[in-house]
Structures are given as structure tokens and as C-alpha cells.
Amino acid sequence: MPPTPAHAGHGLPPTPATVLDEAAFTARAQARLEELYGPRASEVLRRLTTLVMHQRGAIDATPRPLWSERDQWLITYGDSLLDGRRPPLEALDAFLDERLPETFSGVHILPFFPWSSDDGFAVIHYREVDPALGDWSHVRRLADKRDLMADLVINHVSRESLWFVDYLAGSLPGRDYFIEMDPDTDLSEVTRPRSSPLLVPVSTRRGTRHLWATFSEDQIDLNFANPDVLLEFVGILLYYVQQGARMIRLDAIAYLWKEVGTSCIHLPQTHAVVRLLRAVLDFVAPGTLLITETNVPHRENMSYLGLDRLGKTEPDNPGESSAEYTAPDEAHLIYQFTLPPLLVHTLTSGDATALRTWAAQLPPLPAGCSYFNFTASHDGIGVRALEGLLPEHELEVLLELMHRFGGYVSMKANPDGNDSPYEINISYFDALKGTRRGPDAWQVERFLCSQNLALALQGIPGIYLHSLTATLNDHEGVERSGRLRSINRRRWHKQELDELLDSRSTPTREAFLSLKRRLALRAGEPCFHPEAAQRVLDTAPGVFAIQRGPLPGGRRLLAIHNISSERQPLELPELDQGEWYDVLADGALWQPEERYQLRPYRSLWLVQTLP
């Protein structure tokens, strides 16, 4: 097998962090605060600087590299695994040590704070750990062994929070933390992710008031036009970093700023808040990553990398003024929301045309920016990202097929008063139980093909625990909770999961061991560095293929996937250019099968070092 960088220096180095000194931080913070608060910016900056400098002494400010090919994340709830003897966070830690000791570089524990609804996303206390899960010592122990991603649930708060109690009583600080609105106000332009009413009536000491609630009547939106709210969340952000968080996930960030008469999504002030939080991290804890969660059409999602604002990140000509371009200073990563539904469409239709067109049009990423590639998460499979990528009739076919495979469809409210599909609620394993012809015997192979393909794409992979365990649709969970998203939020009892993992032939064991092996191989392959170039290759509709690299020294990788239930020809001129070695076959010399015929759902990761 061709030598790896560890032997011959053919790889890319870990990506360095952006480091801001105090002067640079102050300048960036001042600019962002002026966008948000105008003439009040100087006073808010004084308070922000005091807060940041006070917290900075408790945080290790040594710059950490952003990422390398070894970065791979597990996504899980703190109580997705229960053993009945230990706090769930301790049971999770033990499971990772026993079953996945070196598989993942990091773990995203979904909101582990006291909560009142939405499985953690209606936070009651931001600086406490839900006692049903454990305590901060369990969180820190997990963070000591691997990188930790924590949620900053920044758009809204539980109505059981102390802030909301303050509001009801007319007491500070919560009195001014929420958005009151006259119910007769025209809010028809507001973009909604839900079909529930936007304004919630609340009884206070001052009578009935109507509050902005984007997601549910229990999740009351916070008023970031009040700088006290922003400063509160900067403090919470830094507290999470003190507890060991390496990555901060900005939940539902797109809806943060409200302005009557607008869509109230992706407003310039929202981007200014993200950029301010990035400046805080680059100053206090350089190398701590900021990731935005925005389940929206692809072009809108890309804006959180600053691509719509930057235009370009370096001069075209040596003499061009530096004022003509701006370095990226928004999120480090965005969730690649287009990938989950587009992969399901591709693998159930047996046609990679839409996937290939989308991937070929992805713009070059600025240095220090990347994608978080996932196929499944605690939420459903969002379909808004398919807008403009799939014809309406193709989306209708996909939704009907997911119904046949046991899933549901959640809706959102539109300005015209109608509802439209927002996400598919189904386990990813069951979403791939067949094709448009119906269920078949290829479910495991088709599912593993989806994971192989996602692991090969440019970016950093995130694997949901229930993909790792090939979890089926949890209809009983839906009945118990009354929430469609519970279909993909099963809580495993450790004994039951151990039995499935230790049995000779179960989909759970096959998926778990196969993914564990693929992740180990991926982590050792330098062509999977997040900043290694990606080029989409021209193939037949039943094949999706990309090239990663070449790297310094000429190393390149071809990731080739048969996304259909039929054998597919491999008509790639690159395959005739010297010898190739198959990473998925432990680096063995690749021997073309039956004159370049690829079996159904087979994947190849072929590497070569050019002279």
C-alpha cells in the first residue's frame, strides 16, 4: 500500500486555529456590537470585555488545531443507553470505553440540562446537568477522554425557567428577556419551522401578554435586542468551555433576531451574533469550534460560513487591496442538511444524478471552514434543503415511500396560510429498507453504502448512535410521547443492546462492526483530511464517485459507490492509470472485478500515490 504521511510526509497537517489578540478581539467585537445596538455599542463592549477577561483566566488559551482526518463524532442523547445501575452519562462513558475505545475523536451529547419538553431543547437551567443523567463530573470525565460538543440552546428557553418566572412577576432580569407582541400585528412574512401559533398568550401580573414562540408554547423566544440577553449567553458559552466543551452547537440559530415586517430568519443581526461568538472563542479559547444548526435550503445554510458575505477570501492580484476581501470569521462548521434526504432519494431511486449535480456545485471552502456531514440525528430528515434540487413530483414520491416504510412527515406553516413538508420522521436504517419497488433483501448493504458515501465526502463525519446500532422505527416511543420525532430517539437498555451486538447474525451487530471498522480505516487515511480537495467524477447514474486529493506528494483517493441494486460498470479513466489499493480491503492491491463491474451497493476507497 502507498505510504501514509506518518511514514513519508504525504498528508496535510492539522488545520491551525485563528488566534485573536486583545486588540483584534476588541475591534471585531466593537464592529459586531455596532451592528446590533448602534449608539449603545460602546457601553455593551465595556461590559462584554469585563465579562470575557474575568472568565479568560479560568480557560486554557493554548491554541488547538481545528481538525485533521482523525476527526469523527458520535451524536447521542445522554440517556440513549441505560443500564439501571449507573447514571446514564456514566453508562455512556463505559460503553464508549468498552465498545468504541478509539473510534470517535469526539462525542456530541445532546442537551444534558434540566428541561421541560422537546427532549432537552426547552432548557430550564443552562448551567446545571439534569440529575436524571448525572452531574458535571460525568460530563467532564467524558470530555477528558475525547472532544465534547455541547448545545447552546440560544433561541428560546423553557417557560419553567427562572427567567420566565421573573417575567411573569415583572422582576429583573427576566422581565425584559422576552418579546411581547400585539396579537393584531401582521406577522405573515415570518418564516415558520412549525405549524403551531407563533404568539403564545401568557397571564402575567400586568394582564394577558402575547409572547413570541417560534417552536412551541413551552419554548419562549429570547429577546436579543436586549444586550443583557446576549451577555448572559456569552457567559453561558464560556462556562461550557470551562467544563471541557470543544465544540459549541448553536441550536436553531437562524431564527434568533426578530424584526417585524421581515422573514425573521437569517437576519444580518443574527449573523452578527454568530460572528461575535466566534470572536469570543478565537480570543479566549482558540481552536474551540462553533457549529451552526440551520435546517434550511442549502444556499441559506452556506451563508453561516460567510460565503454570501465574503465572496472571496484572498486577492486575485498581488496588488489588490486587502479591503477587497475578508477572512472567514463566522461559523467553523455547518450541518450539511442537504445530505440526509438527498442520500435517501439517491439510494431508493437508484439514480445518483441529483446527488452528483449538487456535490459538483459545492463551492470551494474558505480555509478554516468545513461541513459536518451526517445522515441521521435526533431530529427527522429535513426536506427543506431539497428545495431547488429535486422536482416537486420527486419529493412527493420520496415522502410517499417513507410512509410505506413506516415513517411520518412533519409540516411547517407558510406565509400564505398553508402547510408544507418540513421533515421526515423515520429511523435512517428503515428509510433504506427498500427502493421504490418496495422492501427487499438489501437493507443492510444499502444502509452501509449510505454511510460509506457520507464518510468519504469532504468535511467531518457525525454518526448518530442509532445509525451505529441500525435501530428500527420506534413506534412505541411515538405512542408514549405523542411526538413524531420519538420514532428515532429510542433508549437502549444495555443488556438488550449487548445481546444484539454479541449475537452471531443481527443487523445491529453487522452495522456496528462494519461502521466501527470503516471509521478506523477512515481515521488513518490522509485523503480524508477535511481540507483535502474534492472532485466529483462523471459516472453512470447508478454510480457516485469522487476524488479526494491529490495531497502533497501525489496521494489521491477514489471513493466509488454503486448506489443501485444492479451491477454497475466502472467506466472511469482514472482506474487505468497505474495500480490502486483498496482501503476497505486493508490496503490490498485492487483487482478489477469482472472487468470493472461493481456489485450492488458495493463501495471502493481506492488510493494511489502518483510519482
Q: Is 436 annotated as a binding residue?
A: no
Phi-psi region of 150 (alpha: psi -120 to 50; beta: other; left: phi over 0): beta
Q: Tell me how far apart the alpha carbons of residues 484 and 196 are, in angstroms, rounded to a whole number.
A: 15
Q: Residue 367, class by beta-carbon neighbours within 10 Å (0-12 exposed, 13-18 middle, 19+ buried)?
A: middle
Residue of 465, 390, 509, 454 lying closest to 75 (CA atoms): 465
Q: Is 535 annotated as a binding residue?
A: no
User: Which residues lie closer than 8 Å to 54 by C-beta, 6 or more apart?
Assistant: none
Instruction: Assign 30 to helix, strand or coil.
Output: helix
DSSP at 176: G
DSSP at 415: T
Q: Tell me how far apart the alpha carbons of residues 467 and 510 are, in angstroms, rounded to a whole number.
A: 12
Q: Tell me how far apart the alpha carbons of residues 189 and 192 are, in angstroms, rounded to a whole number.
A: 9
Are the C-beta atoms of 295 and 308 separated by less than 8 Å? Answer: no
Q: Is 221 annotated as a binding residue?
A: no
Are the C-beta atoms of 255 and 150 separated by less than 8 Å? Answer: no
Q: Is 475 annotated as a binding residue?
A: no
Instruction: Assign 137 to helix, strand or coil.
Output: helix
- The phi, psi pair for 255, rounded to 5°, reads -100, 15
DSSP at 416: T
According to DSSP, the residues that pair with 599 across neighbouring strands are none
Q: Which residues are tagged catalytic? A: 251
Q: Is 249 annotated as a binding residue?
A: yes
Q: Residue 85, class by beta-carbon neighbours within 10 Å (0-12 exposed, 13-18 middle, 19+ buried)?
A: exposed
Q: Tell me how far apart the alpha carbons of residues 284 and 59 are, in angstroms, rounded to a whole number.
A: 7
Share in percent of the chain as helix, strand, coil (round to 5): 40, 20, 45
Distances (CA, A) of 170 to 38, 165, 203: 27, 9, 12
Q: Is 156 annotated as a binding residue?
A: yes
Residue of 17, 4, 109 lying closest to 63 (CA atoms): 17
Are the C-beta atoms of 375 and 107 separated by less than 8 Å? Answer: no
Residue of 179, 175, 224 lying closest to 198 (CA atoms): 179
Are the C-beta atoms of 237 and 50 separated by less than 8 Å? Answer: no
Q: Tell me how far apart the alpha carbons of residues 371 and 316 are, in angstroms, rounded to a whole number.
A: 25
Are the C-beta atoms of 453 and 446 separated by less than 8 Å? Answer: no
Q: Is 316 annotated as a binding residue?
A: no
Q: Is 298 annotated as a binding residue?
A: no
Q: Tell me how far apart the alpha carbons of residues 107 and 435 are, in angstroms, rounded to a whole number.
A: 32
User: Cβ of 397: how many Cβ atoms within 10 Å?
Assistant: 16
User: Cβ of 142: how many Cβ atoms within 10 Å?
Assistant: 23
Q: Tell me how far apart the alpha carbons of residues 291 and 332 are, in angstroms, rounded to a whole number.
A: 6
Q: Tell me how far apart the alpha carbons of residues 507 and 427 are, in angstroms, rounded to a whole number.
A: 14
Q: Tell me how far apart the alpha carbons of residues 432 and 600 are, in angstroms, rounded to a whole number.
A: 14
Binding residues for substrate: 118, 156, 249-251, 378-379, 485
List the binding residues: 118, 156, 249-251, 378-379, 485
